Amino acid sequence: MSSRRRKASRLRPFWMLFLVALVVAVLLGYVGASWPGFRPKHVRVVGNVIVSTQEILAQANINPRGNVWLQNAGAIARRVEEIPYVLTARVRRRPPGDVTIAIVERRPFAVARSGGDDALVDASLRVLETDAGAGATLPVLVLAPGIAFVPGRYLKESSARALRDALLSLRAHDVAATEVDDETGDVSAVLPGGVRVLLGDESDAPKAVPLIEPILTRFALLGRTVRTLDLRSPTTPVVTEGSASEPPPVRASPSRPAPRRSL
């Protein structure tokens, strides 16, 4: 008799026991899966300020009559993260049927403007909402006309990224700006006092930004008013003096040029 047959003959008396154990395991699994105690009785949302708890629960779409331990926690979290203002969602479960959804919300960073349309965006350029009234105090990223703002989508235009990066650089050096644009082909920023700073292309901006405050402070101490600060060549900055409310120098009359001073 082969060794395989000998093993089978030794196990034959236990087959019935194995079958009974299998049936019991299936029954226990069925009872556990259908036991009402594992249904989500208490679902709690924490960390949300802007997004309502009701919206998060509706988006989570947890089956109230299903076993909470058999529902896909990752899928629940991903559904919640589809809400434009939600950065991350984490689903935690505690026996027998308690669920906590922990939310981290996105922070408004700027107002994106394209033609006559505005949208509130975060630092990753995700569109949070198209009603930008809540961002009245935020700087404006002036983009080319024709860009569609869809809540939950990201702005993928290279110009949007360049303006975002310039604004981040300005903030890193504590320079406030009310507007950032590239309408002239170079990135420029308007400061709260109306001074326009020409920063050059996106590779020049990081080198130009640290020069802004020292130059403006120097002219302020001399009692002079700066209208534009041209830092497109950071090694040879050029200042145009005059009231910030006056037209920019490119629009000034050739017969009366604005005073310019190279530093």
Kindly report the pTM of this predicted structure.
Answer: 0.78
Structure tokens at 155: 């702005």
DSSP 7-32: HHHHHGGGHHHHHHHHHHHHHHHHHH
Domain 38-105 has CATH 3.10.20.310: yes
- What's the pLDDT score for residue 257? 41
Region label for 102, one of left (φ > 0), alpha (ψ between -120 and 50) or beta (otherwise): beta
Q: Which residues lie below 8 Å from residue 179, measured CB to CB, with a gap of 6+?
A: 139, 140, 142, 189, 190
- What's the pLDDT score for residue 234? 86
What is the side-by-side strand order in the sheet with 127-129?
Answer: 127-129, 117-121, 110-114, 140-143, 179-181, 187-190, 196-200, 226-230, 238-241, 260-262
Length of the chain: 263
pLDDT tens by residue, the chain, 263 residues: 456 655 556 545 655 555 544 544 444 444 454 556 678 889 999 999 999 999 999 999 999 999 999 999 999 999 999 999 999 999 999 999 999 999 999 999 999 999 989 999 999 999 999 977 767 899 999 999 999 999 999 999 999 999 999 999 999 999 999 999 988 788 999 999 899 999 988 788 888 999 999 999 999 999 999 999 999 988 899 999 976 555 444 433 333 344 455 55
Give the CATH architecture of domain 157-263. Answer: 3-Layer(aba) Sandwich (3.40)
Q: Which of these, 73, 71, 45, lies nearest to 57 by C-alpha position?
A: 45
- What's the pLDDT score for residue 201? 85
Sketch the domain layout of the chain as residue ranges: 38-105, 107-156, 157-263
Q: Per the omega criterion (within 30 degrees of 0), is the bond before 13 cis?
A: no
The angle at the Cα of 129, spanning 123 to 134, to the nearest 5 degrees, equals 85
The residue whose two tokens read 């702005």 is 155
Q: Which of these, 86, 58, 60, 64, lies nearest to 74 by C-alpha position?
A: 60
